[in-house]
Amino acid sequence: MDPRIHDHAAVIVDHSTSIEAGDNVSITAPPAAEDLVVALYEKLGERGANPSVTMSSSRAMRAFMRASDPDDFELPAQSMAAVEAADVAIQIRASTNTHETGDVAPEKNAAYGAVMKPLGDEVMDKRWCGTQFPTDGNAQDAEMSTEAYEEFVYDAVLKDWDEQREHQERMVEILDPASEVHIVSGDTTDLRLSVDGMVTQNDYGENNLPGGEVFTAPVPDSVEGEVLFDKPVMAQGREVDGVSLRFEDGEAIEHSAEKNEAVLTSILDTDEGARRLGELGIGMNRDITEFTYNMLFDEKMGDTVHLAVGRAYEDTVGEDRERNESAMHQDMIVDMSENSRIEVDGEVVQRNGTFRFEDGFEK
Amino acid sequence: MDPRIHDHAAVIVDHSTSIEAGDNVSITAPPAAEDLVVALYEKLGERGANPSVTMSSSRAMRAFMRASDPDDFELPAQSMAAVEAADVAIQIRASTNTHETGDVAPEKNAAYGAVMKPLGDEVMDKRWCGTQFPTDGNAQDAEMSTEAYEEFVYDAVLKDWDEQREHQERMVEILDPASEVHIVSGDTTDLRLSVDGMVTQNDYGENNLPGGEVFTAPVPDSVEGEVLFDKPVMAQGREVDGVSLRFEDGEAIEHSAEKNEAVLTSILDTDEGARRLGELGIGMNRDITEFTYNMLFDEKMGDTVHLAVGRAYEDTVGEDRERNESAMHQDMIVDMSENSRIEVDGEVVQRNGTFRFEDGFEK
């Protein structure tokens, strides 16, 4: 087996989830990620933990959703019972075909997502980590050879996470006490939002591996202006391009997409909270140098900002603040590499992808 | 996908487990069986059931067992919680390498089996079905091409189970009210045991798919005599050949094997019940014409008898009878095709593989 798979397992077990003897560890993985499951089982055996694996199969999900009446969708009781009984959840992504659910009706996809939402909420109450195992399918999506993609993934994952934490802490110190954030990119994005009273988190490879962002929650009704997400979004097995949203009083009152607008509409129609922002994230992982059509990596890129429609992460919402609730959480990315800036409380903190505390920053 | 996989899924869902809307269905499958999982999800979607899949990976189990201190083995709480919350359990076997756990110490294999036993007990309190998906690994074990093996599996599985039930009922009518069973094969097997007060079950493709046997439990201390299991046994990733046991007062007081005797010893040493018989089974599936080193099929062959050391199935033990308890249940097969007979209460009911109620029986 590729020795980097063993190294990846070690980072998950020791850094991301801090496994101890006796921990009940629920892994979720598609068949294509069996190698990483094997490496994790070895490490978990050494630590005296108790693992099990749920198989996620996008082929099975597609067959199930197509055959089902969406009114019959119920959260399987055994899935919830398993997550409730676990101490740690490790979720591995690995696609053999990222378009596998592309011929399921968007409404069915969204209805299923809504039914399964409590499972995701329960996972987030545990120690948890979501990560990527490199496959042909994800390499193809990234427009890379499989070998180059493996290098890309392991470069992003196997790094000095303490150093990364310190790098990001400088942005946390700016954003956490701030009120107003102003994001400008070209003449298509000009968005103002408040993060007043919200909590900025430093993601250094615990819940997300790779990590590499700082993120917080906008005050739900504070978002005003327009944004063009110039990086494509993969959702429900489809590529949604050129998403544009206009916000008033925090709500996306206009939306359009150049490709697969119906998917975007179904995302925003999930529930009331799906039309409001639940996350503002700032990518800071300089080892992710290429856009690969995979949110786990793309949102961490150093010269991007991402916004998510839908639910806010609980740990980003201040005690006396409203949390945006939704079954949906869809991240979308704005390229900040050119002709763009982030202002925090009126001061420029990033221009054309370079942070104020990095070399080459032009005030 | 091979249309027989869809037919297989239909037999599991409609015949074996009688799925209804709202059923919570816990599937266990290795990665190699993903096709059957997909076909099951389609059928379960049509029925309005709620499926999930546990991935069984013999590669992961091997890595875990080798890395672990057996004193640390604990049943994962999330695995038990999931089975408890399910209405139906479907367990799919499919090996890419049947020797995968062959370099794990037999004592570790046995200790792990003992720790996981309550999970198997819980499954048997559900509606459940264990079945086989054909793989290269199982075909190789069977000494067949993969295509021939697929035919073998689907011939055995996709049959008229009502007709099979009626065929077997004739043997149930003989064995269920009986007391003494006497099994003779060549000059190596001469075994007497009592089934007095025990319950004979008709296996027609519900808990086992393929089905095709009638089985009951011996009275634990009634077993006397010698038996040579002339078909090999696959246990703990190893082939155990030429197993011979001598019973006195129900206990195996002597044992030997021509190959891998240490594995046999570790099986018998699991606990006290592992030295007593928990099952007498009589194979009656005439569509299984070849021995394939796979107990699910081999024990159903028409000219074989099998005995299991270890625990008795609850539904074969009469109300006022002792149930043989053990973490182990290891079936082993006696070839009854030549120079052999089964006597029930002094009357010959099978000679040289032919039952009394079949053409060609020589009294």
Write out pLDDT tens, residues B18-61: 999 999 999 999 999 999 999 999 999 999 999 999 999 999 99
Number of residues in chain A: 363
CB A335 within 8 A of CB A295: no
What crossing angle do the helices spanning B106-124 and B77-85 adopt, rounded to 10°?
Answer: 30
Residue B236 banded pLDDT, cuts 50, 70, 90: confident
Mean of the pLDDT values across residues A229-235?
A: 89
- The percent of residues in chain A predicted with pLDDT above 70, rounded, is 100
Mean of the pLDDT values across residues B139-153?
A: 96
Cross-chain residue pair B31–A63, CB shorter than 8 Å = no
Query: CA B176, CA B170: separation in Å to the nearest integer?
Result: 10
- Terminal alpha carbon distance of chain A: 49
Paired with A221 in beta bridges are: none
Cross-chain residue pair A60–B82, CB shorter than 8 Å = no
Residues of B in contact with A68 (CB under 8 A): 45-46, 48
Say whether pLDDT at B197 is over 90: yes
Residue A220 banded pLDDT, cuts 50, 70, 90: very high
Query: CA A187, CA A228: separation in Å to the nearest integer?
Result: 9
Q: What is the mean pLDDT of chain A?
A: 95
CB B93 within 8 A of CB B54: no
Which residue from A34, A55, A80 is facing B53, i.e. has the nearest CB? A55
Residues of B in contact with A60 (CB under 8 A): 34, 37-38, 40-41, 51, 53
The 3-state DSSP class for residue A102 equals coil
Is the complex ipTM more than 0.95? no
Which residue of A37, A64, A80 to mutate against B (max B Cβ within 10 Å)? A64
Q: How far is A63 from chain B (nearest CA, A)?
A: 5
Q: In what order do the strands lie in the sheet with A213-216?
A: A201-203, A213-216, A277-283, A304-310, A329-335
The Cα-based distances of B28 to A342, B20, B120 in angstroms read 50, 19, 12
Residue B352, phi then psi, degrees to nearest 5: 50, 40
Q: How far is B29 from chain A (nearest CA, A)?
A: 8
Which residue of B78, B87, B103, B123 to mutate against A (max A Cβ within 10 Å)? B78
pLDDT for position B302: 85
Which residue from B46, B63, B74 is facing A41, i.e. has the nearest CB? B63
Say whether pLDDT at B363 is over 80: no
Cross-chain residue pair A46–B65, CB shorter than 8 Å = no
Peptide bond into A210 cis (omega under 30): yes
Question: Around Cβ B22, how many Cβ atoms within 10 Å?
Answer: 12
Query: CA B49, CA B208: separation in Å to the nearest integer?
Result: 21
Query: CA A113, CA A121: separation in Å to the nearest integer?
Result: 12
Cross-chain residue pair A34–B31, CB shorter than 8 Å = yes
Torsion, Cα of B323, B325, B331, B335 (10° steps): -40
Chain A to chain B Cβ contacts (< 8 Å)? 165
pLDDT for position A237: 77
Say whether pLDDT at B297 is over 90: yes
Task: Write down the residue that tokens 């994800």 correspond to.
Answer: A138
Six token digits for residue B232: 């090999």
pLDDT for position A236: 80
Measured between CA atoms, the residue of chain A closest to residue B24 is A76
Residues of B in contact with A26 (CB under 8 A): 76, 78
Which residue from A38, A61, A84 is facing B60, i.e. has the nearest CB? A38
Q: How many CA atoms lie within 13 A of B308 on its CB side?
A: 24
Measured between CA atoms, the residue of chain A closest to residue B80 is A82
Question: Around Cβ A162, how many Cβ atoms within 10 Å?
Answer: 11
Paired with A209 in beta bridges are: A131
Measured between CA atoms, the residue of chain A closest to residue B6 is A63
pLDDT for position A106: 84
pLDDT for position A169: 97
Cross-chain residue pair A63–B24, CB shorter than 8 Å = no
Q: A96-106 b/e with 16+ CB inside 10 Å = b?
A: bbbbbbbebeb
Task: Write down the residue that tokens 């050391």 correspond to.
Answer: B309
Cross-chain residue pair A55–B31, CB shorter than 8 Å = yes
Say whether pLDDT at B334 is over 80: yes
CATH architecture of A3-157: 3-Layer(aba) Sandwich (3.40)
**Range(s) of chain B covered by CATH 3.40.1830.10:** 3-157
Torsion, Cα of B220, B224, B229, B230 (10° steps): -160
Nearest alpha carbon to residue B149 among B35, B1, B301, B297 = B297
CB B205 within 8 A of CB B11: yes
Which residue from B46, B59, B76 is facing A51, i.e. has the nearest CB? B76
Six token digits for residue B64: 């875990």
- Decide the pairing of beta strands A201-203 and A224-229: unpaired
Q: Is B64 exposed, middle or buried (0-12, 13-18, 19+ CB in 10 A)?
A: buried
pLDDT for position A339: 95
What are the tens digits of pLDDT across the range A111-121? 998 899 999 99
Which residue from A25, A54, A64 is facing B42, i.e. has the nearest CB? A64
Cross-chain residue pair A52–B54, CB shorter than 8 Å = yes
What are the tens digits of pLDDT across the range A173-218? 999 999 999 999 999 999 999 999 999 999 999 999 999 999 999 9
Cross-chain residue pair B78–A85, CB shorter than 8 Å = yes
Query: CA B166, CA A233: separation in Å to the nearest integer?
Result: 58
Query: CA B316, CA B279: separation in Å to the nearest integer?
Result: 8
Question: Around Cβ A147, how many Cβ atoms within 10 Å?
Answer: 10
Cross-chain residue pair A79–B31, CB shorter than 8 Å = no
Q: What is the mean pLDDT of chain B?
A: 95
pLDDT for position A327: 87
What is the helix (H) or strand (E) element at residue A305, kind and residue range? strand A304-310
Residue A292, phi then psi, degrees to nearest 5: -125, 20
Cross-chain residue pair A77–B50, CB shorter than 8 Å = yes
Residues of B in contact with A50 (CB under 8 A): 74-77
Mean of the pLDDT values across residues A52-64?
A: 97
Which residue of B28, B46, B55, B79 to mutate against A (max A Cβ within 10 Å)? B55
Of A66-75, A232-241, A348-357, minimum mean pLDDT range: A232-241
pLDDT for position B83: 97
Task: Write down the residue that tokens 């009275």 correspond to.
Answer: B219
Say whether pLDDT at A137 is over 80: yes
Nearest alpha carbon to residue B282 among B208, B179, B171 = B171
Paired with B189 in beta bridges are: B185
What are the tens digits of pLDDT across the range B67-104? 999 999 999 999 999 999 999 999 999 999 988 998 99
Residues of B in contact with A53 (CB under 8 A): 54-55, 57, 60
Which residue from B21, B26, B63 is facing A78, i.e. has the nearest CB? B26
Q: How many CA atoms lie within 13 A of A252 on its CB side?
A: 24
CA-atom Rg of chain B in angstroms: 20
Which residue from B48, B50, B63 is facing A45, i.e. has the nearest CB? B63
What are the tens digits of pLDDT across the range B198-215? 999 999 999 999 999 999
The Cα-based distances of B283 to A156, B167, B244 in angstroms read 57, 12, 20
Residues of B in contact with A21 (CB under 8 A): 72
